[in-house]
Structure 1
Amino acid sequence: MSEVEVLPGRVGNLTPEQQHALDEFKQLIQAEGIFVEGRHDDHLLLRFLRARKFHIGHTHKMFVDCENWRKELGVDTLRETFVFEEEDAVRSCYPRYYHNVDKKGRPIYIEHVGVIDIKTLFKVTDEERMTKQHVLSYEVLITDRMPACSRKAGHHIEQCCTILDLKGVSLRQFANAFGFIKRTSAIAQNYYPEMMGKMYVINAPMMFTSVWGMVKPLLDEVTVKKIVILGSNYQSTLLEDIAAENLPKSIGGTCECSNHGGCQKGEPGPWKDPEFANPTKA
């Protein structure tokens, strides 16, 4: 296996100043009694440090805010206490799923935004339950999906490749969904920083320029640079980063997941492979 380049600011590629900041930050939260062995590994601490440009004070505030939020929502016990029985009904009006990995070994997350039906969505569930399900999905990503991807890739994976499909979206539809999208974006940025490696927005209509003007201010400049906006001729660009067999046929790949009940329901990937899945999570 060829050696993988470790990006700056990660474990294995820290400047002396960054290493000092990591050590100082870890000592600080240990002294305050908020450090959790296992969950707060160096990879996680560095994600928060990178999000705040290694400024100890700013990182500390972000980190403490996150830990307080986790306690208020009961994040650490969600897997045991929360059951999302309406999953199938929600997927029918808000299709979103993980589907294998890109060429860098990162899990691929897909949302078909153009067919979101917010009115129906909140008839079968409510915002509080959707928020908990959204958070639980992040937790499973961290504890199950990414470790399995890391085992398969042979190196640490901590970011996703996201595809947002806007086929069929309208301004009215987006306006109806904007509030929920804004809140979920805030959760990602504030509590799960530095987890988006790349985002492809495909089938973007002409009017998306004005919508992008609304969304852009919600994102930091580092995140904005990771986003690629594409129209209907997006397939060749996606296939540069994703093998055709790992991409659903509905968006330009060759996968139909016949053995998994369909791409959305099956959610194939290393996390479903006994060779790479964590035995304790099986």
Structure 2
Amino acid sequence: MADTTAQSNMELDAKYDHYDFPTTSVETREGHPGHLTAGQQAQVHQLRLMLEAEGFKSRLDTLTLLRFLRARKWDADAAKKMFVESEEWRNNLTVWDPEKGAYRPMSLAPKDPEKNPPAEPLKLDELVRTWDKDGSFKRELSKYYKQFYHKTDKDGRPCYYEKLGGVDFTKLRNADYTNDRMLLNLAVEYEKMVDPRLPACSRQAGHLLETSCSVLDVQGVGLVGQKTILNYIRQASAMSNSNYPERLGKMYVINAGWAVSTIWTLVKGFLDPVTASKIKVLGSSYKSTLLEHIPAENLPAIYGGKCQCEGGCELSDAGPWQEEQWKRPAWWEKDPADATIENKPTEIQTGEAPATEETKVVA
């Protein structure tokens, strides 16, 4: 079992920080958990007080607030705005409609979601508890569009694979896979990456892991006739950037032809240098690079590794989050009443949180 008692310079809040995994980050750069200045720790307290004053009681744990602060360059007011907007999105799941140029409620309707809004706004905290419990959505979707988590990279991060090239969005819509339903599925998968995948990976690694390693296969993606795909990418990117900050560890874009490489050359200049440094665009000779960062026994054989899970790696969901030694019930698997935060005075402690079976409050 990984040691979770190592000392950290991060102050933990007894009201919100119920972690049962290590809280000193593998990222040793200043501003990451376990590597904070006194000023950065003070900004965590400031942001929490600002949010409490507006009535927020959930997701005010230290790790979450640090991610929002880092995403907004330690501007507490900007981080607060981002957090509030993210909470509004979680409670009223919306999506940007490029045709109307406005946000609209996302819908589970299998046809024409823009014309069939839900009677009440969808709520992510409720959706994640019930979504695709029998796995049928994922199994059917994988016939058209492969998106899956599978094992870990050499740093212990969960690996996410997506094959965007060759996806026929017309066939997807005809099979009732609207953009809305795929985006809702993506949101649920983000929630499952946050908990239970990242905590299980952190326990196994013995240090905090907050990000994933992504492999995006774009073979066949070009510049012509891609409006539908680009709309989906814009919607998915906007959702992840606004609501899941600081979750990208590494991304490898593989099988990139001249079109994708040209787009990347143009886009790279507009990205934050830290974000841009995490993304590598590779052609068809990508296998050696992937194997530098992902163990051969963890990398699916279709990408040059040795792993061949029974039934296919894309459906196995193999990883520490499935192993008894590392897995724990996710927050969304528990009774909602157990996650209630009592209005008690804040208590601060320094160092790693002791292992506990109490409810985790996470992003």
Same fold (TM over 0.5): yes
- The answer on whether the counterparts of 1:26 and 1:35 sit within 8 Å (CA) in structure 2 is no
Amino acid at match of 1:55: D
- Hey, what's the Cα distance between the residues in 1 that align with 2:314 and 2:279? 23
- Give 1:116's aligned residue: 167
How far has the Cα of 1:218 moved from its partner?
A: 7.9
Aligned length: 278
Tell me if 1:6 matches 2:28: yes
1:60-94, CA deviations, whole angstroms, 9 ceiling, x for partnerless residues? Answer: 11111001111112011112344474332221111
- The answer on whether the counterparts of 2:253 and 2:281 sit within 8 Å (CA) in structure 1 is yes
Tell me if 1:15 matches 2:37: yes
- Give 2:55's aligned residue: 33
- Hey, what's the Cα distance between the residues in 1 that align with 2:29 and 2:294? 20
- Give 1:65's aligned residue: 85
- Hey, what's the Cα distance between the residues in 1 that align with 2:27 and 2:237? 29
- Hey, what's the Cα distance between the residues in 1 that align with 2:233 and 2:52? 34
Q: Secondary structure at the match of 1:6?
A: coil
Larger radius of gyration: 2
How far has the Cα of 1:216 moved from its partner?
A: 4.8
- Give 2:124's aligned residue: 75
- Hey, what's the Cα distance between the residues in 1 that align with 2:225 and 2:37? 46
How far has the Cα of 1:16 moved from its partner?
A: 1.9
Which one scores higher on RCO, CA 8 angstroms, separation ≥ 6?
Answer: 2
How far has the Cα of 1:204 moved from its partner?
A: 0.8
- The answer on whether the counterparts of 1:182 and 1:218 sit within 8 Å (CA) in structure 2 is no
Q: 1:92 aligns with which of 139, 143, 162?
A: 143
Query: What TM-score do the two structures reach when normalised by structure 1?
Result: 0.91
- Hey, what's the Cα distance between the residues in 2 that align with 1:256 and 1:233? 21
| Cα distance, 1:7–1:174 mapped onto 2, change above 3 Å | farther
How far has the Cα of 1:101 moved from its partner?
A: 0.4
- The answer on whether the counterparts of 2:222 and 2:260 sit within 8 Å (CA) in structure 1 is no
- State, as a whole percentage, how many aligned pairs show the same letter: 41
Tell me if 1:53 matches 2:105: no
How far has the Cα of 1:279 moved from its partner?
A: 4.6
Alignment of 1:205-216 (within 5 A): 205-212=257-264, 216=268
How far has the Cα of 1:14 moved from its partner?
A: 0.7
Q: 1:178 aligns with which of 230, 237, 260?
A: 230
Q: Secondary structure at the match of 1:28?
A: helix
Query: What TM-score do the two structures reach when normalised by structure 2?
Result: 0.71
- Hey, what's the Cα distance between the residues in 1 that align with 2:195 and 2:217? 27
How far has the Cα of 1:46 moved from its partner?
A: 0.7
Name structure 1 gaps, 5 residues minimum: none
Q: Secondary structure at the match of 1:34?
A: coil
- Give 1:187's aligned residue: 239
1:200-259, CA deviations, whole angstroms, 9 ceiling, x for partnerless residues? Answer: 01111122233325755885443222101111111111111111111011111111113x
- Greater mean alpha carbon deviation, residues 213-222 or residues 99-108: 213-222
How far has the Cα of 1:277 moved from its partner?
A: 1.1
Q: 1:42 aligns with which of 59, 62, 70?
A: 62
- Give 1:225's aligned residue: 277
Q: 1:270 aligns with which of 320, 329, 332?
A: 320
- The answer on whether the counterparts of 2:196 and 2:329 sit within 8 Å (CA) in structure 1 is no
- Hey, what's the Cα distance between the residues in 2 that align with 1:216 and 1:122? 31
- The answer on whether the counterparts of 2:221 and 2:260 sit within 8 Å (CA) in structure 1 is no
How far has the Cα of 1:113 moved from its partner?
A: 1.3
Amino acid at match of 1:71: N
- Give 2:304's aligned residue: 252
Q: Secondary structure at the match of 1:156?
A: coil
- Hey, what's the Cα distance between the residues in 2 that align with 1:5 and 1:29? 27
Amino acid at match of 1:72: N
Name structure 2 gaps, 5 residues minimum: 7-25, 94-122, 335-363
- The answer on whether the counterparts of 2:30 and 2:36 sit within 8 Å (CA) in structure 1 is yes
| Cα distance, 1:211–1:122 mapped onto 2, change above 3 Å | farther
Amino acid at match of 1:262: G
RMSD: 2.3
